[in-house]
Amino acid sequence: MPMQERHEILRPVSNLFIASSVLVALFINALPWEGIWLALRPDFVAVVMLYWCTHKPHRMGIGLSWAVGILSDVNDASLFGQHALSYTVLAFGGVVLSRRIRMFDLREQTTQVFLILLATYSAYAVVQWQVNGQLSWSYFLGCLTSTLLWIPVSSLFHSVRQLRVDRE
Amino acid sequence: MEGTQTFQVFNRGPSPAARLVFFSVLSLLLMFVDARYRYLESTRSLISELVYPVQRLATLPGVLWQRTEDFFVSHNHLLQENNALHRQHEADMAQLVQWQAMLRENHQLRTLLGLQQRSQPNVKFAEIVYAERDVFRRKILIDKGSAANIQEGQVVMDDKGIVGQITRVYPWLSEVTLVTEKDHAVPVQIQRNGLRSIAFGSGDTSHLALRYVPVSADIVKGDVLVTSGIDGIYPPGIPVAKVDVVERDAAYPFARIVCSPLGGVDEHRYLMVLSPTSSLPARPEETPAPARPKAKKMGGH
């Protein structure tokens, strides 16, 4: 497992990079997932946004996450505000725990990330349960796979942010 | 946790907790308005134009895969398929001629009896863009929207039976709620004996249930349910489901009947959207005023 250096100098992140990463995540979420793959599909948007909320809490905050949630709602044809609410919870967790999470290495981060994602998924599921009166437990599988996705996503973003440092 | 923020040199606006509360309340409000009143459909279709490129792009891998498959299809296979289609076409033509004769006869009989004529629904073809990516709900999106004159409430079917109903229309897409969606109801009748009932979705794509059918009702395994057309939404006579299980328990007033949908609810790529059927005369009011001159007109003419 790649261990993350704690005192590295990272390349400043452009807004374009943040926006395009979120767009790509929306795109991957929108791919035609079906059956068991749908249940196992991690929420790419949530993981990407959590990364930015923890690493750039002043750039990607609760308000922006809410807006991305609204986009997700339209994308998924879910209730207006359902993803927005869960991503608000996600961003709150990310922003509040950002320093704490950045102190840990990648493996220790996953436990923290799991709890935040669990809260996010629960917020979505509770709304679903209240509105439709049914809840499928397989939905929470996505929470586990999203947590597993945290490791590749954050190492990928880290390596992209390190590119310039390596070249010099 | 938030304690680290107590000594602020730079003003960064409201605290995360305040923002959390604000945006949560905003989301809850939106959800309430959306679920109760559906005021936000225009906003949704506006935002959907923003998301549309992403959605369209996301269908590309599937489309490309399909194209590649189409490209590598063999000559022999095409010939075989063409032959089979020709035979099918000839068989269908024979039936179609008979059907047209019956249609004329039916038309005449209905004129004689003074019944309302059945209109033939027009058909638009549409392709499934994708199945819903939400584990909780069974919905599909098709590639025709308000730009192609699709309206809410239109019926969607495939070559075997009813698939669902259009519940939300975007400019280039529309959302189809499947007949198997939880609590989605279709008025049906049994093809064999005309017994009317209502088929309810169960939330699982593999079955429907008939509720409130008395234990003594004449239903057996294998009966085909077709739409009865009495709701004015579903045109009459389209296959919906086949009865799989009939359980009669004398302890309950109603029989437990499970059916499987005939339309390929999660199989096909192409679907047909039927135009809305002619509107039925308005339902008479429960307590009509004693002297109303219009009441004479209620006769089905």
Q: Is B24 an 8 Å CB contact of chain A?
A: yes
Name the one residue in this structure whose structure tokens are 């309810």.
B200
pLDDT in tens, B170-180: 777 888 888 88
User: A-chain residues within 8 Å CB-CB of B57?
Assistant: 27, 30
Q: Report which of A71, A90, A79 is spatially closest to residue A22, judged by C-alpha positions.
A: A71
Domain ranges of chain A: 15-27+40-167
pLDDT at position B252 = 83
Pairing between strand B185-190 and B224-227?
Answer: antiparallel
ipTM value for the complex? 0.82
Per-residue pLDDT averaged across A139-146, rounded? 90
Does the structure show a pLDDT above 80 at B192? yes
Asked if A88 and B23 come within 8 Å (Cβ–Cβ), the reply is yes
Cα–Cα distance between A44 and A30 in angstroms, integer? 10
> Residues of A with CB below 8 A from B20's CB?
62, 88-89, 92
Chain A contact present for B268, CB below 8 A: no
Contact A81 B34 (CB under 8 A): yes
- Please indicate whether, in this complex, the C-beta atoms of B24 and A88 are within 8 angstroms of each other: yes
Q: Does A160 touch chain B (CB under 8 A)?
A: no
The CA radius of gyration of chain B, in Å to the nearest whole number, is 26
Does B48 contact chain A (CB < 8 Å)? yes
pTM for the model:
0.68
What is the pLDDT averaged over residues B290-296?
A: 48
Angstroms from B23 CA to nearest CA on chain A: 7
Yes or no, beta carbons of A139 and B19 under 8 Å apart: no
Nearest chain B CA: its distance from A167 CA (Å): 33
> Which pLDDT tens digit goes with each residue over A58-101?
888 899 999 999 988 888 777 888 899 999 999 999 999 988 88
Following DSSP, what letter does each residue of B73-93 receive, concatenated?
A: --HHHHHHHHHHHHHHHHHHH
**Using CA atoms, how far apart are residues A96 and A122, in angstroms rounded to an integer?**
18
Helix, strand, coil fractions of chain A, as percent rounded to 5: 75, 0, 25
Residue B208 above 80 pLDDT? Answer: yes
pLDDT per residue as tens digits for the range B143-167: 888 888 888 888 888 888 888 888 8
Task: Identify the band that residue B230 occupies on the pLDDT scale cut at 50, 70 and 90.
Answer: confident
The answer to whether B54 contacts A32, with C-beta atoms less than 8 Å apart, is no
Rg over CA atoms, chain A: 16
In the stretch 171-200 of chain B, residues with CB closer than 8 A to chain A read: 175, 182
Chain A residues inside the 8 Å CB shell of B182: 132, 134
Average model confidence (pLDDT) across chain B? 79
Q: What is the pLDDT of residues A1-57, one digit of tens each?
A: 444 445 566 777 888 889 999 999 988 888 877 767 778 889 999 999 999 999 888
Residue A62 is nearest to which of B16, B33, B50, comparing CB atoms?
B16
The more confident residue out of B86 and B294 is B86
* Per-residue pLDDT tens over the stretch B35-75: 877 777 778 878 877 887 887 787 777 778 878 888 887 88
Q: Write the single-letter amino acid at A8.
A: E
Q: For residue B98, what pLDDT is reported?
A: 92
Above 50 in pLDDT, residue B18? yes
> What confidence tier does B169 reach under pLDDT thresholds 50, 70, 90?
confident
Q: Is A103 on the interface with B (CB under 8 A)?
A: no
The confidence band for B294, taking pLDDT boundaries of 50, 70 and 90, is very low
Write down the residue that tokens 């794509």 correspond to: B205
Average pLDDT over residues B213-227: 87
Which of helix, strand or coil describes residue A5?
Answer: coil
3-state secondary structure of A133: coil
**Cβ(B240)–Cβ(B188) under 8 Å?**
yes
Best probe of the B interface among A74, A112, A121, A145, by most B CBs < 10 A, is A74
The stretches of chain B forming alpha helices (DSSP H) are 16-36, 41-71, 75-113
For the purposes of burial, counting CB atoms within 10 Å of the CB of B133, is it exposed (0-12), middle (13-18) or buried (19 or more)? Answer: buried
